[in-house]
Structure 1
Amino acid sequence: MSWREELKNSKRIVIKVGTSTLTYTNGQVNLQRVERLVREMADLHNRGLEVLLVSSGAIGVGANRMGFKKIPRTMPEKQALAAIGQGALMHLYEKLFAEYGKTVAQVLLTRGDLDERLRYLNATNALLAILGMDVIPVINENDTVVVEEIKFGDNDTLSAMVASLADADLLIILSDVDGFYDSDPRSNPEACLLHEIYEVTDVMEDNSRSRGSSFASGGMYTKLKAAKISMASGVPMVIANSDTPDVIRKIVGGEEIGTLFIPREEKMHARKKWIAFGTVTQGEIFVDAGAEQALLKRGKSSCLRV
């Protein structure tokens, strides 16, 4: 069975919606698109699947409400706009999902929530409890209180972290691009869309450092970072264009939509996932050749010489 066919068996799905998907280029909310995506997610839920929504847009919505033409640079201003926009964003989701009889729950996370093992487990248990109540969690970074040192940096990374800690079967990242190309399609009309990727290389990352829209924080580079986390966690990830009709249904149905990042065959142990992706990196560790072999080849810990 192909990996596309395997996606049909997904039971727990994380869907990340970016600012470029939620809003028009002028910052106004794209109600038609949001309504369509909410309907698709509600229909998945009706089928008995578990859906977790990771949504950007709080700062963008707040900026638009306050009449800003672009996102300010200072952290206090961003935090103020996040506080303004998050409530408006949740109100929109609550209203739209309620039309289909669905209940949503707001979950705001910071990197610090995943850095400590106990808080990581608490976050996991809280998400599982929400899903157990047949509720759809709407997850965002807690931009109002987060400081630079403990930011995820973008919701692409956050969505991959959520897929990892929730042990999801599929991560879908919806954006304004059709998937990952071998070169930038905006500057190269002959760029080729890659339908499957087995490894994210340094060359791919180096060629993907362009940003998104003026109201977005990400771009293809952050999506590749998310793909590395997702693939290492054993979770397949698809990047697709939110403008594609029935995009979520088609992906879950195994159709060749967007770019599929193929995960490792064996999922990492929960504690190893936390060590690899949950903890905030501080300092450096230098290992000798013997320790390198033990860590990479035999999956064992070793005495490290700092």
Structure 2
Amino acid sequence: MTIARLADLADPLTTPRLVVKVGSALLVGKDGKPRREWLTSLCGEIAEARKRGQQVVVVSSGAIALGAAKLGLAKGGRGSLADAQAAAAVGQIALAGLWSELLEQQGLTAAQLLVTLEDLDDRRRYLNASATIGRLLKSGAVPVINENDSVATEEIRFGDNDRLAARAAQAARADAIALLSDVDGLYDRDPADPEARMLPRVEGVTAEIHEMASGSSSSGLGSGGMTSKLQAAEIAERAGITLAIINGTHERPIARALEHDTGTLFLPRRNDGALKSWLGGRQRMAGVIVVDAGCAKALAKGGSLLATGITAIEGEFRRGDPVGIRDASGRPLAQGLVEYDSAEVTRIQGHRSEELEPLLGYAPRSAVVHRDQLVLL
């Protein structure tokens, strides 16, 4: 069975495993204190989902906001990277304790997982995280995942928990994600515009859909916005995961959204295999390979990336590294694991297969990026 409407998020047959993402502005009040009453109602919803036979994974922001209030840091702890790391170190204890206490009141056991971008971009660590989440769910616990902001730097962080939720959903092999936001869903323009219309369903995030989004977070507490939610939807939809944006500002937000059928449902376009889903969700590439129009067409038809279609490379990479593949205009086409070092690709770019052995000094591999190690964007 497939998810076709918001109400299916509460159906254990269509959604046996659900990821719920909670942002800072929903969990922490402007006074820097947790919104316990609201969070208690959400924990009640999680318990109800469990009783229906669903497994739930939580992706929770809030550590920096809670820690900044305790330390008295300006700008909610986001004035500098050092402030954010210090605030997270203090706030993470409070956040974990809060989830543990309120879930325990519902008879549930909370488990904390702190991850960085590197943890989910590295294949082995990603598989370890996936195995841990699976074992926790099998044991009846509720995994509560957050970015490890106390050690993450600008270069190795997600930057927002929307994309983290999508990557966590991949690792958890979830069926759907509920992103709790401060708006009802995706609007075709600024929601403040009286003529703005909410989109109930989106089948594929296109350039037109991206143009509707605003990259700002209205609360000032979070780091995301509608743009990051659309990026999360793109990661999810390639893995066959449905994503919903619903208004989380009310008590019992999930039940309210489902009862009134209010929210935006992003339906998956395809269901890539485990490896390709992981590849498509990666955010950091070791380098970029630029290809000509003929190569771009071949890739779109499911072909491998051959040296003859390469026109340029950017960055330095080694065999096995993830690389982005773009056309001459800079448009992203695909991501994949490269079979050659960057110096070798530079040597063989633009050459036909029969010309490669003399250039390399050894028998060439079948492709620069094989189609089995490549995912279209």
TM-score tier, shorter chain, comes to over 0.9
The answer (yes or no) to whether the contact 2:58–2:145 under 8 Å persists in 1 is yes
Q: Does 1:274 align with 2:283?
A: no
Unpaired runs of 5+ in structure 1? none
Q: Does 1:115 align with 2:121?
A: yes
Report Cα offsets for 1:248-294 as digits up to 9, x if no partner: 2356x686221111111x31111111211136223211123343233
Aligned partner of 1:303 in structure 2 is: 306
Aligned partner of 1:134 in structure 2 is: 140
Q: Does 1:3 align with 2:4?
A: yes
Aligned partner of 1:213 in structure 2 is: 219
Aligned partner of 2:293 in structure 1 is: 289
Specify whether residues 42 and 199 from structure 1 end up closer, same or farther in structure 2 by C-alpha distance, changes over 3 A only.
same
Corresponding residue to 1:41 among 13, 38, 46: 46
Report Cα offsets for 1:36-63 as digits up to 9, x if no partner: 0011011111222110000000000111
Report Cα offsets for 1:57-83 as digits up to 9, x if no partner: 000011122233523322111100000
**TM-score, length-scaled by structure 2:** 0.75
Q: Does 1:31 align with 2:36?
A: yes
Report Cα offsets for 1:7-55 as digits up to 9, x if no partner: 4320000000001111223333211111100110111112221100000
Q: Does 1:18 align with 2:23?
A: yes
Q: Does 1:175 align with 2:181?
A: yes
Specify whether residues 175 and 268 from structure 1 end up closer, same or farther in structure 2 by C-alpha distance, changes over 3 A only.
same
Residue 234 of structure 1: how far off its partner (Å): 1.0
Corresponding residue to 1:50 among 52, 55, 75: 55
Rounded to whole Å, the distance in 1 between the matches of 2:134 and 2:223 is 28
Q: Which moved more, 1:283-292 or 1:91-100?
A: 283-292
Residue 214 of structure 1: how far off its partner (Å): 1.8
Rounded to whole Å, the distance in 2 between the matches of 1:235 and 1:109 is 21
Report Cα offsets for 1:105-126 as digits up to 9, x if no partner: 1001111112221111111111
Q: Which moved more, 1:269-278 or 1:203-212?
A: 203-212
Rounded to whole Å, the distance in 2 between the matches of 1:56 and 1:259 is 21
The answer (yes or no) to whether the contact 1:212–1:218 under 8 Å persists in 2 is no
Specify whether residues 110 and 101 from structure 1 end up closer, same or farther in structure 2 by C-alpha distance, changes over 3 A only.
same
Q: Which moved more, 1:174-183 or 1:212-221?
A: 212-221
Query: Identity of aligned pairs, percent?
Result: 41
Specify whether residues 279 and 258 from structure 1 end up closer, same or farther in structure 2 by C-alpha distance, changes over 3 A only.
closer
Rounded to whole Å, the distance in 1 between the matches of 2:259 and 2:41 is 20
CA RMSD of aligned residues (A): 1.9
Specify whether residues 279 and 200 from structure 1 end up closer, same or farther in structure 2 by C-alpha distance, changes over 3 A only.
closer
Specify whether residues 145 and 59 from structure 1 end up closer, same or farther in structure 2 by C-alpha distance, changes over 3 A only.
same
The answer (yes or no) to whether the contact 1:27–1:215 under 8 Å persists in 2 is no
Aligned partner of 1:68 in structure 2 is: 73
Q: State the SS of the aligned residue for 2:241.
A: coil
Q: State the SS of the aligned residue for 1:53.
A: strand
One-letter amino acid of the structure 2 residue matched with residue 52 of structure 1: V
The answer (yes or no) to whether the contact 1:114–1:279 under 8 Å persists in 2 is no
Aligned partner of 2:109 in structure 1 is: 103
Q: Does 1:235 align with 2:241?
A: yes
Q: Does 1:166 align with 2:168?
A: no
Q: State the SS of the aligned residue for 1:104.
A: strand
Large movers: runs of 4+ above 6 Å:
none
The answer (yes or no) to whether the contact 1:120–1:278 under 8 Å persists in 2 is no
Number of corresponding residues: 302
Rounded to whole Å, the distance in 1 between the matches of 2:31 and 2:199 is 30
- How do residues 237-252 of structure 1 correspond to structure 2 at under 5 angstroms? 237-249=243-255
**TM-score, length-scaled by structure 1:** 0.92
Rounded to whole Å, the distance in 2 between the matches of 1:254 and 1:211 is 26
Report Cα offsets for 1:206-247 as digits up to 9, x if no partner: 442222312111111111111111112111111011134533
One-letter amino acid of the structure 1 residue matched with residue 58 of structure 2: L
Larger radius of gyration: 2
